[in-house]
Amino acid sequence: MNRKCLIKNMTDQVKEAQLKLGYAPETVRLYYPVASLNEILGTSARNAQEMLTLLNGDFEEKTELGKLKFSSHAERIEISIPPEGAKWVHEHVETPAFLKELIELFQTKHACTLEEICEIFKKYDPEYICEKMPAGSDFDYAIHFHNAEHDEYYYCIHMEMGHTIYHRFTEADYLALL
């Protein structure tokens, strides 16, 4: 089981939330489909109960995010990160410049354009990739870096009624959308 990948994914999500909402020393709850956790962990649990058994067995010890708690809700796994984990991310995880700039764009300009979003990607890597999503998709565009060293996530953009939003996915979860 690849614990490091899951810790990194959770840390990335907590950091993103802190950039959007600010830091608060409180419990953070993240929800994962079993298929996403299988991809991240390199496991093959067939359902939420099997995944819970794997997680509870492998995460008995405290992590840098504190003592994690696991439960299932409608075939998704809830991972509860205690306040000490939120504090650890706030104090020890560097703010990614790219993500900070992207979030600031969305916070200051509710109807930002695709061109403005792409300018931020281009600033960090001129070889970023922007693709139109297939018809019937929940999103209009998907943007990611050619070189995952800049940022490994896929940013799916949706523009509707004067608002532009993004959702961030791992590559595997993005491919599952298609």
On the CB side of 64, CA atoms within 13 Å amount to: 14
Residues 129, 169, single domain; the answer is yes
Token pair in block for residue 91: 């104090």
Q: Is 41 in the same domain as 58?
A: yes
Is the domain of 12 the same as that of 84?
Answer: yes
Q: Find the domain containing 27 and state its range.
A: 3-92
Please tell me whether residues 59 and 125 are part of one structural domain.
Answer: no
Handedness of CA 6, 8, 10, 13 (dihedral sign): negative
101 in the same domain as 80 = no
Question: Domain tally for the chain?
Answer: 2
Residue ending a domain, among 74, 92, 110, is 92
Q: Are residues 104 and 156 in the same domain?
A: yes
* 75-86: pLDDT as tens digits: 899 999 999 999
84 & 9 share domain: yes
pLDDT for position 1 = 82
The pTM for the full model equals 0.93
In this prediction, residue 9 carries a pLDDT of 97
10-residue mean pLDDT series, the chain (178 residues): 94 98 97 96 96 94 95 94 98 97 96 97 97 95 94 96 95 93
Q: Which of 62, 92, 122 is the last residue of a domain?
A: 92
Same domain, 16 and 82: yes
Same domain, 47 and 61: yes
Domain stop point among 70, 92, 114 = 92
> Does one domain contain both 116 and 135?
yes
Q: Which residues contact 122 (CB under 8 A, 6 or more apart)?
A: 128
Q: Are residues 87 and 127 in the same domain?
A: no
